[in-house]
Every structure is written in C-alpha cells, then in structure tokens.
Structure 1
Amino acid sequence: MGVKSKAAAAIVVLLLFLGSLWLQGSLDYHWDSCLKGYNQLNKLNQLSNSSRTNGAEGALVLDACPGQTFQVSKLLSQLQAASTYPSDVLLQPYLSSWDELVKFMEALGPMVGLISQEIETKTSIIRQLALLEKEPEGELGPDLNSIISVNTEFGTKNTLEVSHHTGGYHSVRSMISMELKRGLVDFHHQTDSGCRTLLRLHRALLWLKLFLEKLAENPETGRHRSPSELCREAYQSTLANHHTWFVRRAAELAFIAMPERSFFFRLVCVQNQEQFSSLLNRVVEAIGGVYDRTQEALEENGMLDLP
C-alpha cells in the first residue's frame, strides 16, 4: 500500500473514531421530498413586499420545509422571540434557537457532532440551573458541579421551557445580575456557572454567524468556494482561538466531510444561490441581533474572558 493510500485510510479510521465519540443518533437527509412544489423565496418576497406596503417591518414567517429535521422557520421565530426585550435576550427562545442550530449542524454530517454535542451539553447546563433555581435559596450554593450532576434528564432538547420561569434565568441580563449577587461567577477559576456557559455558546454563535454569512456571499468571480472551505475559515477566526490543539485538529477533519453547496439548498428548500442568499441574510441578521445584545451584556460585566 502506498504512502497516500495509508494516509487516506488513517484519516478515514480517525473520522470514524471521532464520530463514534461525538455524535449520537443517525443522519437522515430526506433528499427527495424537500423541493416538491415548494419555493420559499417567493413566500419570502411576498412577505417582504407586504411589509413594505403596510409600512411595518414585521416578523418573517416561513412555512415548514418538508422532510427536514432542521427547520429554518423555527430558527428564525426563536431568534426573533429572543430579542423581544430591548437590549436583552430571553433565555428560553435563545436556548430553543440553539436546539435548531444543533439540528442544522447534525445534518452536515456525523463529524460535526464534535461541536454540536458540546453545545447540547452547554444548553443543558443553563436549563438545569433555571430549573433548580426554583428550589429553596439555600440549596443553590456555589458548588455548581453538584447541581449539574442531578436531573440529567432535563439535558435533552426542548425538555425544559425556561419561558415559564421568570426568575434569575429569565434573560441574559437577569442571569448575569443574579449570579453575580450570589457569588456564582468565578473570574479566576473554571466553574459551570450560567454566565461562563453562556460565553461558550456565544463564541460558537459567532462561528455559525460568520459561516452563514460566507455561504450567502455571491463572489465577483462567479465561483463559489466550497462550504468546507468557508466553514474552516470561519472556525479558524472564531472558535479555534479558544480550543486546544487536539480539538482544532479534530474540527479540521470534521470540515473535510462537509456536504457540497447543493445539499444546503435542499436543507432549507431553495433551488439556487439567489434564493439561498436571500434566506440566509435574514437568518444572519436575526443571529446578529441576538449576538450583539449578548456581547454587550457580557462586556459590560467583564465576562468576555471567563476561564
């Protein structure tokens, strides 16, 4: 066996190994049902024109994309709901938007499970903290590791609806204020506080925002770069700055197996780059609103570098 063949075989074995560690469940592409009689861009344009006619900005409403687990319509509605309060982010729709983004990442292939599984762990931490805040105050001490170890069934997607809880974990700013008052945020040592966990999600959101921005771009040369290349580039300028060498190498391998651009069209039920760009720009704008508000809240409280 030649050197190149051995190297290729080694990469395949490593990818399979990483996939077994980082992804649970199977992948279902549903290739054929998505585009039957469905043109999402026409609905997008109609809604946009209607909003201009009525003089209202309005919320973007999209139909479900048949045959897909990830639904861009749900993602947009949750992102918009998270930005209901001025200068703040509601945590329940914020976490629900991450549920959709996890489905998006899982659709890209088993290797991206490295990141999506870690994100699910982070959203579960905040959901459990919100649940346990209902307990008597004396039971919510600074030992957050013991808190996170119980009620693990609430770590599954969409199990705990934080919107029904109006306490400290109602919004980003209320969580920051409450955890600071209770001494739950350590600026020098690693903890599983909600604020530290939010910071990790916040960094990942910037990566996805940048990746989607790049996917939406129409190059001057007429040649689109591959999603694999764009995702790697977005990762290198964001999450890679906070990951260990091993995680960076594993992520690089994950991006190699990313689907081609046509797969993304099917994933959101569009037929060409023009429709894709129009839809993605709305998603990026919604993500940007949530990201900017979270960034401002964390920066005001000196939390952008929590260990």
Structure 2
Amino acid sequence: MGATGWTRTRLCRLACTVGVFFLLLLCFSSLRFQLPNSTCVWGVRPCRWFGGMPLSKEDAERKPPPSASPPSAATGAALLLQTPSEPQDLGEGFRIVRLQRAFAASLTPSGQILIREYLSGWKELIKFMDSLGAAFGLISGETRTKIAILQENQRGPHGAHYRTLQSMVRFELARGLVGFQSLPAGRPPSGCRTFLRLHRALKWLELFLRKLGTSPEDADPSRMCADAYQEALAPYHSWWVRQAAALAFLAMPSRRELYHILSAGGGEEGKGPRRLLDTVRSIAHVYNATQELYAAHGMLALP
C-alpha cells in the first residue's frame, strides 16, 4: 500500500511537470509576445526579437560577443523554461543557515539594504526552488535573469551607486532611469524595476515559508504555496503564468520532504520549525524595509 501511494505521488508530480511544459509550449506557439524589458535581455540590455519589434540603430550596429549569435524565439523559450539542470554559479546545495545569514546581513543597523548580500540570499532561495522539482524552472529561471541584471549594474561604470538599495533608488530617480510609465526603447533594464520584481517574489516565499513553519503535520504544502502565491504574486502575472504556477504547486514535495530539504546542512531535523521561522523573520525585516522605501518614493506600482 505504501509503495503504491508513493508511486501515485511520483506519477502525479511527473504529470504536473509535463503539464507545465506543454502549457508553456502552447503559450509560445499561440500568442505573439511582447515581453517586458525586465524579462527579455541580451547582454543585460532589452532585446527586441519577440513580437517583431524593430532594432534601433544603436542595437543594429552593436556586435554580439564573439561566441554568441543573435537570440531566437527558441532561445527566449529556453530562458523562461530554464530548469535546475542549468546552474549559474550558485555553488553547493541549499543551506537554510546561509539563507538566514544572507538576509540578516543585507539589512544594516541604520536600515540600509545591501544589494550584494540581498542577492546572496536570493541565490539560496533559487537552490530551494530548484529542490522542489523541474516544474519550478520558470520561476527560478526568471529570478536568475533579474539577479544577473542587478549584478551587471554593480559591475558597471556606475557600480558605486548600486551598493545599497537606497543609493540605487536615488541614482536612478535623479537620472530618470526608473520609468514610472514605461521605459524608452533601447534603454537597459531599470535596477529599481528589477529589484521590485524580486521584492514581490520574496513576499510569496516569505508567506509560504511562514505557513510551512506554523502548519500542522497534515497540512498540504501545495495549498499553502498556492495561497501565498495568490496573495503576493498572482496580481502581477498574466493568465498563462498563473496557470503554469498552479500546475507547478500541485507537483510540490510533501511537508515531510520539505522539512528534510530545509534541515539539510542546518542542524538537527527537530529544530526545523524554529530555524525556519528565524529565517522567515530575517526575510520579513528586509521585505518591510524595502516596502517602506518603495512606498516613500511612490514606486510600489511600477509596471
């Protein structure tokens, strides 16, 4: 009986993963996309190869890297369907201790939010999402793209302005780089916009991990994750993405398996709930500080 139940669970997860894949294939084959700049990047610049958008003179004259060729629609699909089998310098496996320390270190006593430490926390969250199965490849792939944009800003000529969230906001507002309505064609993705998308996703994971840490043993992680998503992220996503996310949540591991993942490398398994809630508190402190900063500048509703 136990073996049969285990087999049915695995088959269900496999079916859900395949369902996500075919749903996204249908999406790409039946719709003519106009992807936002924060999603579609080539060399950390807005790309125009979806939807028939014409290249600007600057982009047409700009040469791609020697080993690269202009992206195709298939490349774009691969980016959005990126799975955990395509790591991007994320190092060893997920450790909740590193996750907690990274977010705790990202908020200074004076309230400054350190972007490098914040992104380190997100890299651990990507590892956690990767451990949930290939169905979460869409979300983790999107997150990798946004991390790459912010890291490129830090390495660029204005990198000193991208050390803290506060300095980035001041710099981009002063230079008119935020784009409260839309970004002019050809302009690199806005750091403030990119960070806001990570901020919204962080609320989803904060809510889910909090629910997981305070839930009874018979609670359904799929339901908890879906509820957190509906509250924090669904309002900002298209119908297609919401359906793909709903299928991905159905393929989630059990509560017991999730606690095993969360306790790996983090001490005794019995300390899982307490350690998890400590981590959630660190994440919440950073989220709240970010929320206050964006609200003060009227940027919470950036497109």
- The verdict on a shared fold, with TM-score over 0.5 as the criterion, is yes
- Which residue number corresponds to residue 87 of structure 1? 111
1:84-233 aligned at under 5 Å gives the runs 84-134=108-158, 167-190=160-183, 192-219=189-216, 224-233=218-227
Q: Tell whether 2:253 aligns with 1:256.
A: no
Q: Deviations over 1:62-119 (max 9, x none)?
A: xxxxxx7101111111111101242221000001110000000000010111111111
- Which residue number corresponds to residue 59 of structure 1? none
1:284-299 aligned at under 5 Å gives the runs 284-299=280-295
- Which residue number corresponds to residue 235 of structure 2? 241
Q: TM-score, normalised by structure 2?
A: 0.69
1:50-61 aligned at under 5 Å gives the runs none
Give SS of 1:291's match.
helix
> How many pairs are equivalent?
227
Give SS of 2:168's match.
helix
- Which residue number corresponds to residue 143 of structure 1? none
The whole-number CA distance in structure 2 between the counterparts of 1:90 and 1:15 is 35
- Runs of 4+ displaced beyond 2 Å: 8-21, 23-27, 268-276
Taking a change above 3 Å as real, the CA distance of residues 73 and 258 of structure 1, as seen in their structure-2 partners, is same
The whole-number CA distance in structure 2 between the counterparts of 1:232 and 1:272 is 28
Q: Deviations over 1:242-298 (max 9, x none)?
A: 000000000000011100011122213379986321111101100011101111111
**Residue in structure 1 matching 2:85, options 7, 26, 35:** 26
Taking a change above 3 Å as real, the CA distance of residues 23 and 190 of structure 1, as seen in their structure-2 partners, is same
Superposition RMSD on alpha carbons, in Å? Answer: 2.6
- The one-letter code matched in structure 2 to 1:113 is G
Q: Tell whether 2:261 aligns with 1:267.
A: yes
Do 1:211 and 1:234's aligned partners in 2 also have CA atoms closer than 8 Å? yes
What is the aligned-residue identity percentage? Answer: 42
- Deviation (angstroms), 1:12: 5.9
- The one-letter code matched in structure 1 to 2:19 is L
- The one-letter code matched in structure 2 to 1:15 is V
Do 1:88 and 1:294's aligned partners in 2 also have CA atoms closer than 8 Å? no
The whole-number CA distance in structure 1 between the counterparts of 2:82 and 2:152 is 22
The whole-number CA distance in structure 2 between the counterparts of 1:266 and 1:168 is 40
Q: Deviations over 1:133-169 (max 9, x none)?
A: 34xxxxxxxxxxxxxxxxxxxxxxxxxxxxxx6x110
Q: Tell whether 2:272 aligns with 1:279.
A: no
Taking a change above 3 Å as real, the CA distance of residues 254 and 218 of structure 1, as seen in their structure-2 partners, is closer
- Which consecutive unaligned segments of at least 5 residues does structure 2 have? 1-11, 26-77, 87-91
- Which residue number corresponds to residue 40 of structure 1? none
Do 2:222 and 2:250's aligned partners in 1 also have CA atoms closer than 8 Å? yes
Q: TM-score, normalised by structure 1?
A: 0.68
- Deviation (angstroms), 1:182: 1.1
- Deviation (angstroms), 1:306: 0.7
The whole-number CA distance in structure 1 between the counterparts of 2:84 and 2:136 is 13
The whole-number CA distance in structure 2 between the counterparts of 1:262 and 1:13 is 24
Do 1:227 and 1:261's aligned partners in 2 also have CA atoms closer than 8 Å? yes
